[in-house]
Structure 1
Amino acid sequence: MTTQTKRLSRAEQVHAATPPSRNRVVDFLRAAAITVVVLGHWTIVAVDPRTGIEPHGVLDHAPWTHPLTWVFQVMPIFFLVGGYSNAISWRSARKKDQTYGAWLRTRLRRLGIPLLPLLIIWLIICWVAIGLGAPLSTMQLASQMALIPTWFLAAYLMVIVFAPLTLVTWERFGWWSVIIGLVLAAVVDLISIGLDNSLIGYANYVLVWVSVHQLGYAWLDGRLAGTARRLALAGIGALGLALLVGLGPYPVSMITSGADEISNSNPTRITMAFLGMVQAGLVLAFEPALNRALQRPRLWLLTVLVNQRIMSWFLWHLTAMVGLAQLLLALGGIGLVEPLTTVWWLTRPLWCLVLLAITAVFVLIFGRFESPKPDPRPAPPIWKPVAAAICCVGGVAVLASVGLVGAQGVNGYWPVLVLAGMVAFGVLRMPWDRPRTPRAEQTDQPAVP
């Protein structure tokens, strides 16, 4: 049997093993979104052989790219599919009489355990590099760049903590739960921008993303059925976004640019909610066509494979880029060209292929942490996973903003806070933990059973 036949056989097996009730479009959108995020980060970041890493170099120096961020800023898609998946997960837990504490601990294990190797390794890198004389500013930028993906985990974990409550709100109030969220987000922006206080604006990490998350509930419950409704949602989002950008203080770029006084994404602004409506409406309008395409075994197998290691691709892709960039800079800028030149654009595919290979090595090494063993411990009291979530959110939110290094050296207490919270509050199962009941807690399933 040839290799090609073997691959086809495997694809057919995965296709046949997928339950008919599974919405394959959910998995495809998640995989497609992570692909856009990874390629987008590798392209937006400019590495100048003279000045080093420029986190938003393309956006800072090429304003014509700002409208493209309406397509490439796909974080709303993650919250859309998250709402769909979390509603299924929590409703299933309720039917099985699983407690909120057990459910939340399972979600924390699924998201938090793959994060720990990244934090530990970067903590070691910073300690060793600074001990060997690396400038603090260099390590601050490097660690901040590598840990940028953790901001999403902070926001997503907060949304998960509130998911049972927001689902009940949706079930009772329907679209009013979305409208109220948008109104509250607008009030937060009004106060935050009016007072020039970004700290107040961080409340929208919950309000905006919960509102987009609610769209996933609407999708699951059939409240967005039909092309007309989906295009209407996209139209409302586009109109709102155009008014906010055209008449309001918001910039065109949906990704932070140094050329803008206000960022749409840091902190999250209400513009991201309207962008989420546009993207949700448009991608769901193509759901029937996507579902037909995903009946092809090879495309479905690719979707499954990406989803099985999606956290690892997301968490490690910027580490690969920072590592390669620092190596080339240390070698005198060999292989690097001036950003935004014709040669630079022509070499982007090669740049991405090299980074893809490096990231794949990280995924092979650390991907195993995405498949934690079943947890046979009894359900914890609610306060324990909630406390663990607070530690994780607090730690990664700071790391995503400032990195691991400050003016005085390595700020090791933030990753330690994440690790200590997961250990102290029972998310990690330690060797001394012994189950008191044979009943096992269910773990999240991969894309295909």
Structure 2
Amino acid sequence: MTTSGLSRAQRIDAATPESRNRVVDFLRAAAITVVVLGHWTIIAVDADGGILPHGVLDGAAWTHPLTWVFQVMPIFFLVGGYSNALSWRSARRKKVAYAEWLRTRLRRLGIPLIPLLLAWLVIGVVAVAAGAPNATVQLASQMALIPTWFLAAYLMVILVAPPCLRLWERFGWWSILGGIALAGAVDAISLLADQPLLGYPNYLLVWAAFHQVGYAWLDGRLAGSGRRLLLAAIGLVGLLLLVLVGPYPVSMVTSAADEISNSSPTRITMAFLGMLQAGLVLLLEKPLTALLRRPGLWFATVLVNQRIMTWFLWHLTVMVGVAHLLLALDARALLPEPLSGLWWATRPLWALVLLALTGVVVLVIGRFETPRADDRLAPPVWMPVAAAVFVIASLAVMASVGTVGENGVAWVWPLLPVAGLWAFRVFNFPRS
């Protein structure tokens, strides 16, 4: 590291309050890194078949158990629970209203989303006008907007985080068990009726229940290696029973080879996967805390977290763009047959190229993660709630079908979140 870089890292290290749990930030940054690299790997590009959304999982069953490591969405909800409880308790102490607290969270998550949605609206219009098949543009937009399903689920959990925290403070672990039991009932109904749509309430129930494990971490209810090992053991036993005895597949990421998906809709397997992962990563909290005292590692963690939404939201747009460019050029030398030896050997280079290009996008677009301060009075509570509903509904649709349908560009879905965030005063256009 250069002298200037080292001094900046040391300044950031010195400015970090002693009370801050650096492991929370590190786990968030590490999880986003795993998600990005995982997407760039499992989504294959075939010179003859185009983009294969789950090419690796569909063609190599041996990779399915690896998803127990690389499906790290539970880690986001773990650190989200820790952070949201900390944030809401601080708001309660300062007499900050729920509406103002929610608007602040929506600004943090919603404003960086706007450039992505508008970009894909423009891409869809231009591509369809240029004669691209609707199905091709639909798949491209759907692939690029995969990250938005997580954002929709996370926003739902944020909406109910304060009442869930109250439940946790009153009932403790029973509040988590109750949520998982409800999720199990929803799963049973969905699977018995063979209707995945009936399982959609579990996007909220599973993640809201597991989100409270972050509350337990914050409150010291998972202190000590014994409790953390027990949590991991419960997660592992639950997963094994659900997969080996129950009807659930091994892969924690959707695969065309499986009749049931563990993630679309979210199933109770994800809650047990979260327990397993949380128990194991929290066993590493002490050594991680010591490592993060090093200014260089902490500096890198802070940098990733400053632009984490932009990395997350745009990494698949970059991949889809590069893939379609290579397909249009018929660059077969750069598109080896998926799962071949050459394909595996070139994955590190593929990831490095995409990382560099995504980095450029982050430099240009990342400023939307630091909007100007909002000093407006707190809105009526229904306004940020309505804005959140607008965003959640539209993201849920686009994560499934993209921005283009059989009849052309579906204008309403990318514009609905923007309209909702503006109409319900989550953000204002700058005054001239």
Asked whether the two chains share a fold, i.e. TM above 0.5, the reply is yes
Match of residue 349 from structure 2: 350
Q: How does 1:281-360 map to 2 (within 5 A)?
A: 281-334=279-332, 335-360=334-359
1:417 aligns with 2:416: yes
Partner of 2:367: 368
Matched, 1:110 2:108: yes
Whole-Å separation in 1 of the counterparts to 2:160 and 2:27: 23
Residue 167 (str. 1) matches residue 173 (str. 2): no
Counterpart-to-counterpart distance in 1, 2:160 and 2:72: 22
Match of 1:253 among 251, 254, 269: 251
AA matched with 2:246: G
Q: What is the CA distance between 1:432 and its match in structure 2?
A: 6.6
Give the deviation of 1:20 after TM superposition. Answer: 0.2
* Native 8 Å contact 1:155 1:209 kept in 2: yes
**Paired letter, 1:385:** P
Q: What SS does structure 2 have at the residue aligned with 1:27?
A: helix
**Unpaired runs of 5+ in structure 1?**
434-449
Structure 2 letter corresponding to 1:338: E
Instruction: Kindly indicate whether the alpha-carbon contact (under 8 Å) linking 1:375 and 1:429 is maintained by their aligned counterparts in 2.
Output: no
Q: Partners of 2:290 and 2:97 in 1: how far apart?
A: 37
1:416 Cα deviation from its structure 2 partner? 1.3
Partner of 2:202: 204
> Which amino acid in structure 1 is aligned with residue 169 of structure 2?
E
Q: Does 1:401 align with 2:400?
A: yes
Would you say the 8 A contact 1:181–1:208 is kept in 2? yes
In the alignment, residue 385 of structure 2 is paired with which amino acid? V
Cα displacement (A) at 1:430: 3.1
> What's 2:220 paired with?
222
Aligned to 1:64: 62
Question: Which 5+ residue runs of structure 2 have no aligned equivalent?
Answer: none
Structure 1 residues 143-162: aligned runs within 5 Å: 143-162=141-160
Shift of 1:5: 1.3
How far is the alpha carbon of 1:7 from its aligned partner?
Answer: 1.1
237-246 or 6-15, larger mean C-alpha shift? 6-15
Distance apart, 1:332 and its partner CA? 0.8
The code of the aligned residue for 1:286 comes to L
Q: Deviations over 1:380-434 (max 9, x none)?
A: 010000000000000111000110011101111011111111111111123479x
Kept in 2, the 8 Å contact 1:140–1:405? The answer is: yes
Partner SS for 2:256: coil
SS at match of 1:53: strand
1:372 deviates by 1.1
2:34 match: 36
Structure 1, residues 162-212: CA drift from partner, whole Å, max 9, x if none?
000000000000000000011000000000011011111010000100111
Deviations 1:324-353 (A, max 9, x none): 000000001341100000000000000000
What secondary structure sits across from 1:339 in the alignment? coil
Q: What is the one-letter code of the residue matched to 1:350? A: L
Letter in 2 for 1:428: F
Q: Is 1:387 equivalent to 2:386 in the alignment?
A: yes
CA distance in 1, matches of 2:26, 2:375: 31
State the alpha-carbon separation in 2 of the partners of residues 361 and 399 from structure 1: 25
**C-alpha offsets along residues 130-159 of structure 1, whole Å, 9 cap, x if unaligned?**
001011111000000000000001000000
**Aligned partners of 2:211, 2:369: CA distance in 1, in Å?**
23
CA distance in 1, matches of 2:431, 2:322: 40
Q: Secondary structure at the match of 2:258?
A: coil
CA contact (8 A) 1:255 1:263 kept: yes
Alignment of 1:118-197 (within 5 A): 118-197=116-195
Deviations 1:26-55 (A, max 9, x none): 000000000000000000011011111000
Partner of 2:234: 236
Conservation of the 8 A alpha-carbon contact between 1:45 and 1:53: yes
- Residue 422 of structure 1 aligns to a residue in which SS? helix
CA contact (8 A) 1:384 1:425 kept: yes
Task: Give TM-score scaled by structure 2 length.
Answer: 0.99
- Larger mean CA deviation between 191-200 and 29-38 belongs to 191-200
Match of 1:22 among 4, 20, 23: 20
Per the alignment, residue 86 of structure 1 pairs with: 84
Q: Which amino acid aligns with 2:369?
A: E
* Structure-1 separation of matches of 2:196 and 2:426: 32
**Alignment partners' CA distance in 1, 2:148 and 2:161:** 20
Cα deviation code 1:92-148 (max 9, x no counterpart): 111111000000000000000000000000000000010010111110000000000
Please state how far the C-alpha of 1:319 moved relative to its aligned partner. 0.4
TM-score in terms of structure 1 length: 0.95
Give distance in 1, aligned partners of 2:235 and 2:18: 32
Which amino acid counterpart does residue 259 of structure 1 have in structure 2? A
AA of the residue aligned to 1:307: N
Separation of aligned partners in 2, 1:331 and 1:343? 20
Alpha-carbon shift at residue 87 of structure 1 (Å): 0.4
Q: Secondary structure at the match of 2:51?
A: strand
Tell me how far apart the structure 2 counterparts of residues 101 and 15 of structure 1 sit (CA, whole Å).
33
